[in-house]
């Protein structure tokens, strides 16, 4: 995946944070018991990152509300 930096930068350009969205998904994927398939690109995680970001962002909306 070191050779595929552009996909990682693309995810970040779309608003996904490394610590807020990407790292938690990677941590979650590493604890599964299933044998991991060969991963060649960051795009393999794009759907999982998008799903995680959606749930995290909804949780943040519950905590923070717009000032009046």
Domain assignment present for 30: yes
Domain assignment present for 32: yes
pLDDT range class, residue 30, cuts 50, 70, 90: confident
Tell me the DSSP string of the chain.
Answer: -TT-HHHHHHHHHTT--IIIIIHHHHHHHHT-SSPPPP---GGGGHHHHHHHHHHHHHHHHHH-----
Domain assignment present for 22: yes
At residue 50, the pLDDT reads 92
At residue 29, the pLDDT reads 82
Q: How far is CA 24 from CA 36, 49, 53, 62, 63, in A?
A: 17, 9, 10, 20, 19
pTM of the model as a whole: 0.67
How confident is the prediction for the chain on average, in pLDDT?
Answer: 80
Q: What is the number of structural domains in the chain?
A: 1
Domain assignment present for 68: no
Domain assignment present for 41: yes
Domain that holds residue 19: 5-63
Rounded Cα gap, residues 13 and 56, in angstroms: 18
What's the pLDDT tens digit per position in 33-42? 777 677 778 8
């Amino acid at each position: 995946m070191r050779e595929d930096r552009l996909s990682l930068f693309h995810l970040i350009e779309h608003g996904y944070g490394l610590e807020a969205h990407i790292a938690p998904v990677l941590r979650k994927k590493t604890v599964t018991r299933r044998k991991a398939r060969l991963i060649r690109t960051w795009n393999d995680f794009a759907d999982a990152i998008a799903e995680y970001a959606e749930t995290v962002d909804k949780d943040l909306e519950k905590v923070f509300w717009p000032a009046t």
